[in-house]
Amino acid sequence: MKLTQSLRGAAATLFDYSLTVPVIDTHEHIPRTEQDYNQSPIKFGNLFNPYVSNDLASAGMPFPRDQWAAFVCIQADWAAFEPYWKAVKHGSYARPLRIALREFYGVNDFSQENFLEIVRQINRNNQPGIYRKIFTEMCGIEKAVRCAGDLSEPDDPILVGNISSPSLQVTSKAGIDGMAEAVGAGQISSMDELLDVSDRWMEIQVKQGAIEFKAMANPVENPDRADAETSMKAILDGNKLGETELHPLTAFIREANARKAAELGVPLAVHTGVWGDFRILDVNHLIGFIQRNPDTRIDMYHLGIPQVRSAIQIVKNFPNAYLNLCWAHIVAPEMVVSALKEAIDMVPLNKIFAFGADYVLFIEKVYGHLLMARENIAIALGDRVDRNLLDLSDAQEILHAWFYQNPKDFYRL
């Protein structure tokens, strides 16, 4: 793994040290088995999803609004694509992709002459052993937490499972019916039945190997059962509710999920910030939820971007809240470095997890994202060492904890 920018002083020393440190990758969305990945032909558009596609859309590239997140509409039309790529290729979302192009395919950028051949090479390299090659050999990743609605194969040597909590399953009748079927229950008709099924479903997932459940930040400050029942009834009647209409139900079910997660001894991950109308996902919405559930370990995703100072303050103030930098390094690298410098002052250092790549296909990007994470953390800790506020040996110990020991202990791997 090579430096992509010039680091000086302690930062350079810490970056070199980081290459020797094993990694727990706290967040991926890759296929559940390597065989599934091998059987997934990678198209040019897949290289940009996620998250370069968001920047391309922001730059004005036309996407069908009902499917642009799936990024199926970048085809072999270089002339139509090139102006938008020029607008976004120097951004932090694109950087892991360009690092991967250089490291694995020997090119610094796409061009009209090479882009189709690059895709062909990527698919030729998509062979059995690619998970081990990228995660283990190239990145030094010991375990990767895969976030999904289903578990990875239990004998997979790399992947462990973070399962979408019932609060994310109850957004459709199909999701509710699926949980009921999984636990052998009949048709759900009441909130008590839904809560019982949710608890039993979580028990089954943990028995099958789930190490964590995932939820979302939610703007409902005090979840109300009556409001939740109204939303549930509409869903069971076959109605498709909008996000705002779902909030009373998902917030209420999330409370029950948090209590059950504590009983089962597993954490609850919560997505915060970044996406779309990020006011809805504001990390500040978690304060009451964290206070009401002191026995539930909260894995707070994405550094709360853009509300990073709120995220730091929350983790400082509440013993059951932890700061997870998954995805954050490519969302806003400079913001991460700045936030870490403040977090070192404020947050107990056993409550920070350094890295999660958050990718789906073209897993070579995991390598590029991890390089950026190692740079960011080396810079933040190196600044501390250069100002004689931290010994180099202590900085190395912290770096090791953030990348490896803290998440390993938290997930009880």
Higher pLDDT, 91 or 6: 91
Work out the pLDDT band at 217, boundaries 50, 70, 90.
very high
What pLDDT does 68 receive? Answer: 43
DSSP characters over 86-114: HHHTTSTTTHHHHHHHHHHHS-SS--TTT
Question: Cβ contacts of residue 36 below 8 Å, gap of 6+?
Answer: none
Distance CA 287, CA 72 (A): 38
Distance CA 17, CA 39 (A): 36
Query: The tokens of 369 are what?
Result: 């994202």
What pLDDT does 396 receive? Answer: 98
Distance CA 142, CA 140 (A): 6
Measured CA distances, 316 to 216, 218, 310, 347 (Å):
21, 21, 10, 5
Torsion of CA 334, 338, 340, 344, to 10 degrees: 160
Model pLDDT for residues 107-124, shown as the tens digit of each residue: 999 998 998 899 999 999
DSSP characters over 210-253: EEEEEEE--S-SS--HHHHHHHHHHHHTT----HHHHHHHHHHH
Helix (H, G, I), strand (E, B) or coil at 395: helix
Distance CA 389, CA 259 (A): 41
Measured CA distances, 289 to 46, 258, 305 (Å):
36, 9, 19
Model pLDDT for residues 53-110, shown as the tens digit of each residue: 889 888 988 765 544 444 444 555 788 888 999 999 999 999 999 999 999 999 999 9
Does position 151 have pLDDT exceeding 80, yes or no? Answer: no
Report which residue type is found at 112. Q
Looking at every residue in the chain, the average pLDDT score rounds to: 92
Work out the pLDDT band at 4, boundaries 50, 70, 90.
low
Work out the pLDDT band at 353, boundaries 50, 70, 90.
very high
What pLDDT does 71 receive? Answer: 46
Q: Which residue has the tokens 């296909």?
A: 361
- 165 torsion bin: left (phi>0), alpha (psi -120 to 50), beta (else): beta
Query: The tokens of 334 are what?
Result: 């400079």
Region 135-154: mean pLDDT is: 87
What pLDDT does 123 receive? Answer: 94
| Lowest mean pLDDT across 4-13, 117-126, 316-325, 357-366 | 4-13
Model pLDDT for residues 10-46, shown as the tens digit of each residue: 999 999 999 999 999 999 998 888 888 999 888 888 8
CB 196 within 8 A of CB 251: no
What pLDDT does 80 receive? Answer: 82
What pLDDT does 339 receive? Answer: 97
Distance CA 252, CA 410 (A): 26
Distance CA 352, CA 318 (A): 13
Tally of residues, the chain = 413
Chain centre to alpha carbon of residue 168:
15
Question: Buried b vs exposed e over 49-66: b needs ≥16 C-beta within 10 Å?
Answer: bbbbbbbbbeeebebeee
Task: Tell which residue, 304, 310, 306, has the closest CA to residue 325.
Answer: 304
Region 174-190: mean pLDDT is: 93
